[in-house]
Amino acid sequence: DKMAQDMTEKELLKMELDQLKKEVKNERQMVSKTGKEIKEYIESMAGEDPLLKGVPEDKNPFKEKGGCTIS
């Protein structure tokens, strides 16, 4: 594939038109409906979210294996 800066205006417009033809087929839904569904899903999964509840030390792959002492 060519890089966008190497394409003629006609090629760029054709590429944009092809993309729009794909996007127009996507089913659309109201944000007022989907936003509520997303919020409910996030809240239902919050108990399992390691960013909210943390990671147990024994399951943490990034835990330091050993210390370093300077004398």
User: What confidence score (pLDDT) does residue 64 get?
Assistant: 80
pLDDT band at 2; cut points 50, 70, 90: low
Burial of 35 (0-12, 13-18, 19+ CB in 10 A): exposed
pTM of the full predicted structure?
0.46
pLDDT in tens, 5-60: 788 999 999 999 999 999 999 999 999 999 999 999 999 999 999 888 888 888 88
The domains of the chain, with CATH numbers, are 1-59 (4.10.260.10)
